[in-house]
Amino acid sequence: MLAIKNNSDTMEQDNMEHDNTVTLTSIEHDNLENDNHITLTSIEKAEIPPHVLSGNAYESIKEHLIRLSPSIHKCSFIGWHLVKVVSVYDGDTVNVLLVLGITGFKFGLRIYGIDTAEIKSRNPILKNYAIKSRNFLQTLLKPEHIYIARIIDNDKYGGRLIADIFYKNDNGEYCSVSDVMLTNNFALPYNGKTKENEQNWLTFIADKVSQS
């Protein structure tokens, strides 16, 4: 469990740009082991750096900085990281703490490869489906757990990270959140270019209702 100390309430106004940083005062090692020392089947174990699998946050920041040292000015977070999900906004967007050392950095994160119905839609059918998608995602990603995320890029629309998150299923296997959302018909594939328009979404929803 991450104990989080958020100093934003005592910050001066001219330092508000640092509000996206919180101090993680402790990490319970047993919980990290429970969340990360498992058999991997959906992804190759060899692809994940040892410091991420071990849940060792101190090694995480050291290895991250070593990897970035030739081009540290780019500040890229692309690669494997530990994240804690703070909140779920909708079916394809969450807010996370990216764990680096004893510090957690707050980021918006868009789940890679999927698009879900817009929760702000004025169409009641789409809005209802968007809420169902969000609620389903909340059953996959629990705020008390630590997850492994593969950060792929930065979102060109909102300054968010683009990543797939892997959660542990009942069999102790890591599963891709993107794949599970698609398999359960709560999302459509998204290649980062043109999103589905509302009519396509309505057709998709109608097809799923007729098949149920």
With contact defined as beta carbons under 8 Å apart, do 162 and 112 qualify? yes
Q: Does domain 2-6+19-203 have CATH number 3.50.90.10?
A: no
Enumerate residues 6+ apart whose C-beta is below 8 A from 46.
none
Q: Length of the chain in residues, anyone? A: 212
* pLDDT, tens digit, 9 for 90 and up, residues 155-206: 776 678 999 999 998 998 999 999 999 999 999 998 777 777 788 888 888 8
Residue-wise DSSP of 150-211: EEEEE-TTTS-EEEEEEEE-TTS-EEEHHHHHHHTTS-EE--SSPPPPHHHHHHHHHHHHHH
136 vs 54: which has the higher pLDDT: 136
What's this model's pTM, rounded to 2 decimal places?
A: 0.64
Query: Residue 93 — pLDDT band, cuts 50, 70, 90?
Result: very high
Task: Parse the chain into domains and list their residue ranges.
Answer: 2-6+19-203
